[in-house]
Amino acid sequence: MLFVAAGLVGGIVLFVRGLQAYRRDRQISSVATSTLDSLAAGEVRVTGVVEPIDQTLISPLQSRPCVWYRAKVETTGDNSRVLLNEEKAQEFRLKGETGAIRVVPRGARWEIGAVFDERTSITGDEPPGLHRRSGTAYHGWVERDPETMTDLERDTAAQALLTLRQPVDPLTTDDWDQGGGSFFGRKGTEGRRYREARLEPGETITVLGQAWPWGDVREVVLASTTGSNIDRDIAGDLAIAREMGMLAASPEEAWGNAAIPGFGIGLPTIEPTLDPEAARPAVPADPAAHEAALARYDIPDEELVLSRGLRGGMAIYAGTPAEATSHHDAAFMVGLLGAVMTVLCAFALGGMLTGSL
């Protein structure tokens, strides 16, 4: 009876998930794919290749450059517990055959499967392919073609290569837990399971979301009802400061030299205002370098970006629209099997309770 009852509950869960998959499948199928050079404000479905915007993330488990990752590490012993559960995303550019658009993935639903799912061996050895991130989650410079890099970019990349970093010993460094290592590991007798999903530059994706002018996204997204309490507090403080005229009119007025691209690393794109006795940094001779640096972050308010709406969500799928639809089709078939299992278990349970089985 317990087995049949468990099957009944499991069938209901699978059936509900199948209905959700059917709903999402109809949602993505009902919107036609738009070309990036003819986008209009509103709900859109676009597909293209992922391009980072100057900066990439570094995944925790395999140290791969990406624009989004979700990583989880948990023990596999009798008392299973989560050691790491981390997800990060950043803005990126979606490039198609007819143009490109900035994607603001805040609050998006990521329909991207794990690319790394391994366990420690019975002898405690870490799985092949595990390469733990030893530094920050952010990589400050994306890989660029040297022929298209400016002098400032080449100097910065060279400086990064010449910077000495403290080596990390993987045998003594473990920042994921306070106990519970591998089977014959350093900190206990439990094995581990490592899972990581990520979206890397160069991958093809399909995005179902809202095309918004950047000015609306910047003003409204922070005040979204789906945002955190911290976001709401920030949005409220900004609104009060704006009404009272306390906001600076420009980044230069608010931050001074800190608003100059490259100033923080000693390579400002224009001459900063410094004390006469301070050492003067080298400034690029080409004035276009400053304008090019500003253009990376100065987004016109009228420029369309992909984001989530106040009432509509945003979904990011791996692959083309056809592959995204097939993803939900498989989940829907599992839901149908769950419905059949539910009916059979219900009949079996009813027969057991009435004594007719």
| CA distances (Å), origin 14, targets 230, 283, 330, 335 | 36, 62, 12, 5
Q: How many Å apart are CA 89 and CA 173, to the nearest integer?
A: 26
Predicted confidence at residue 101, as pLDDT, reads 92
State the chain's maximal CA–CA distance in angstroms.
Answer: 97
What is the full per-residue pLDDT of the chain (357 aa) written as tens digits? Answer: 777 777 777 777 776 766 666 566 556 666 777 788 778 888 888 899 999 987 789 999 999 999 999 999 999 877 788 899 999 999 899 998 888 999 989 888 898 989 999 999 888 889 999 999 887 776 654 545 555 555 545 555 555 555 554 444 443 344 454 333 333 334 445 789 999 999 999 999 999 888 888 888 877 655 554 444 545 566 667 777 777 777 777 777 778 888 888 787 777 888 888 888 888 888 887 878 888 777 766 778 888 889 887 666 788 989 888 777 766 666 667 767 777 777 777 777 777 777 665
Predicted confidence at residue 226, as pLDDT, reads 43
| CA distances (Å), origin 346, targets 79, 174, 332, 343, 352 | 33, 49, 21, 5, 10
Bridge partners for 92 per DSSP: 52, 103
Judge whether 175 and 92 are in contact, CB under 8 Å.
no
Tokens 């010993």 sit at which residue?
Answer: 169
Q: Which two tokens stand for residue 166?
A: 């403290």
Predicted confidence at residue 232, as pLDDT, reads 58
Say if residue 304 is exposed, middle or buried (CB neighbours under 10 Å; 0-12, 13-18, 19+): buried
